Amino acid sequence: MFFRGIEMLLTVSIMLFPRVAPCFESDVHYGLTYWLAQKAGFLPEEAEAISLGNQRVDGGLIENMKSQLQYACLLPYEEDSLAVQALHFPSARKVPISPDRRTVTAGSRESSAQSEKLIETARGKAGFMLQLFGKALHPLQDAYSHQGVPVAVSLEEAGIKCDDQLSMSAPRDRQSISVHDAEVTASWPGTITPMARATFDALVRYPTIDGRVRVPKKWENISSELSSFAVARTKANKADWFRDRGFSDVSFLDGISLPDGDGWRSIRWHGRKLPELNAGSTQHNVDPQILDFYRGFFEQWLTGSMKFGRLAPFIADATSKNAQRLPLELRLWLWRLRDHGAAIPFLFDRTGGPKVIRGARALMAKPAAFERYAVPTDAVLPLLYESDAPSPVLPFIVLDLPSSAKNRPRAIAIVKLLDAPYETLGIVTERVDGRWFIISVVSTFDY
């Protein structure tokens, strides 16, 4: 097995309080961008290319499948941290550098540097560069949701040390009391209009395509429609907003951090362009015993129907309760919920009280609460091993962790669930008397 520069903090706690970053999601990067592009005079297929290019920055292409769980914590990798900073946390000063020296400013030159460059270089070939232009609009938009001093992720309670100089989550004052509040446009309605205005202005200035002059709508008529977009608090409400404006396909809202809401019908978005995973794709140079353990666990967790108790054999002490968190098996099942937006308040709950447990159970008892997957690879998004070396495309990545205080071997499997596409999970295990057990689950929010 291999181990790379992970410092272990001696800790008895196995429960974690992951930090979550509010970042705009596909309602903004795809839907709103598409709508604004049409208002700026682009044809539907042009608007589609721009918004796809923008949205795919958030894990829609394999090269964008980056997580600070890897590049800042488990496998420190400056190159990926730099790439993430440029797309989601634009700042004049580049990583590696402490977060307080790389403040993100909405409307800054750094945030629009990429879109300005495209507006220049696309002349004469503007029709071919629409997806790149969409990608370049991403940091312009994220500079609004990430404005302030980025927060370095902390997973110390799981004994995982992260490098502050490479790590980035949204500023503390934009991480509101509830994680749910922090991620949705409704929490920051005042941010939406200036963000949309900056996007619209860039769209209007994009060079003409094949000599066709675009006639943009007046900004006053556009801005008046934005407040109802910003305050929508369910996927159903967002979908209504888009349908009222001529969108027949609202599947791009799948996976955003809002709960479904009445009338939302779960539908998969097919806008990602990712390599197929096959059952055979596997990591070499990993202890076969730990690999077998994780394979067995993923089979039980990700396929078939949900059943309490099924995961108990994989958990160190399934009956133990931490006063502040929900039981581990319950949390693992919550991560599996199809409606991740509804699961978020429970996943990040810090009381672990009976009322919360009842609420979580009620959520799971709903019809079609869980997607049925035939094989684990259907339930996950593909990952790359983040380093200089070429990596196979993998359904999950297993890494060694330093041994525990009692000298027990530890490991972690990194996985990205299709039903929680904005987050990266780490399933932490420990070997006791020759057998592996899950001791905690950590997560980072990466876009």
CB of 420 to Zn ion, least distance (A): 16
CB of 159 to Zn ion, least distance (A): 29
The Cα–Cα gap between 27 and 413 comes to 30
> Which residue from 142, 183, 349, 430 is in contact with Zn ion, where contact means CB under 5 A?
142
CB of 138 to Zn ion, least distance (A): 6
CB 62 within 8 A of CB 48: no
Q: Which two tokens stand for residue 410?
A: 């530890």
The Cα–Cα gap between 52 and 271 comes to 7
Q: Edge-to-edge, what's the strand order for the sheet holding 423-432?
A: 397-401, 410-415, 423-432, 435-445
CB of 21 to Zn ion, least distance (A): 9
Q: Collapse the DSSP code of 105 into the 3-class scheme (helix H, G, I; strand E, B; otherwise coil) and give the result.
A: coil
User: Does residue 89 bind Zn ion (CB under 5 A)?
Assistant: no
- Interface stretch with Zn ion, choices 85-93, 330-338, 355-363, 385-393 (CB under 5 A): 85-93
CB of 111 to Zn ion, least distance (A): 12
> Which residue, 142 or 163, has its beta carbon nearer to Zn ion?
142
- Interface stretch with Zn ion, choices 135-143, 236-244, 318-326, 364-372 (CB under 5 A): 135-143
Q: Which two tokens stand for residue 118?
A: 């495209």
Q: Collapse the DSSP code of 155 into the 3-class scheme (helix H, G, I; strand E, B; otherwise coil) and give the result.
A: strand
- Interface stretch with Zn ion, choices 19-27, 97-105, 379-387, 405-413 (CB under 5 A): 19-27
Q: Containing H/E element for 441? A: strand 435-445
> Which residue from 88, 102, 295, 431 is in contact with Zn ion, where contact means CB under 5 A?
88
CB 123 within 8 A of CB 134: no
- Interface stretch with Zn ion, choices 15-23, 68-76, 188-196, 382-390 (CB under 5 A): 15-23
What backbone torsions phi and psi does residue 153 show, to the nearest 5 degrees?
-70, 145
> Which residue, 59 or 327, has its beta carbon nearer to Zn ion?
59
The Cα–Cα gap between 351 and 161 comes to 25
- Interface stretch with Zn ion, choices 125-133, 134-142, 175-183, 197-205 (CB under 5 A): 134-142
The alpha-carbon radius of gyration of the chain (Å, integer) is 22
Total residues interacting with Zn ion, rule: CB under 5 A = 4
Rounded-to-10 torsion of CA 438, 441, 442, 447: 120
The Cα–Cα gap between 238 and 341 comes to 13
CB 56 within 8 A of CB 135: yes
- Interface stretch with Zn ion, choices 80-88, 213-221, 392-400, 411-419 (CB under 5 A): 80-88
Residues 287-346 that bind Zn ion (CB under 5 A): none
> Which residue, 30 or 447, has its beta carbon nearer to Zn ion?
447
Phi/psi-derived region of residue 126, left when phi > 0, alpha when psi is between -120 and 50, beta in every other case: alpha
> Which residue, 88 or 325, has its beta carbon nearer to Zn ion?
88
> Which residue, 430 or 446, has its beta carbon nearer to Zn ion?
446
> Which residue, 277 or 344, has its beta carbon nearer to Zn ion?
344
List C-alpha distances in Å: 380 to 23, 80, 82, 148, 396.
21, 21, 25, 32, 8
The Cα–Cα gap between 61 and 58 comes to 8
> Which residue, 70 or 404, has its beta carbon nearer to Zn ion?
70
> Which residue, 83 or 316, has its beta carbon nearer to Zn ion?
83
Residues 222-261 that bind Zn ion (CB under 5 A): none
C-alpha closest to that of 96 among 181, 163, 18: 163
| Strand partners for 337 | 370
The Cα–Cα gap between 104 and 148 comes to 5
- Interface stretch with Zn ion, choices 21-29, 67-75, 120-128, 253-261 (CB under 5 A): 21-29
User: Does residue 47 bind Zn ion (CB under 5 A)?
Assistant: no
> Which residue, 88 or 161, has its beta carbon nearer to Zn ion?
88
CB of 88 to Zn ion, least distance (A): 4
| Strand partners for 209 | 212
**Amino acid at the residue 205:** R
> Which residue, 200 or 445, has its beta carbon nearer to Zn ion?
445
Quick one: how far is CA 386 from the chain centroid?
16
User: Does residue 184 bind Zn ion (CB under 5 A)?
Assistant: no
Residues 270-289 that bind Zn ion (CB under 5 A): none
User: Does residue 174 bind Zn ion (CB under 5 A)?
Assistant: no
> Which residue, 436 or 445, has its beta carbon nearer to Zn ion?
445
User: Does residue 56 bind Zn ion (CB under 5 A)?
Assistant: no
CB of 105 to Zn ion, least distance (A): 16
> Which residue from 14, 23, 315, 428 is in contact with Zn ion, where contact means CB under 5 A?
23
Task: Summarize as ranges the residues that interact with Zn ion (CB under 5 A).
Answer: 23, 88, 142, 447
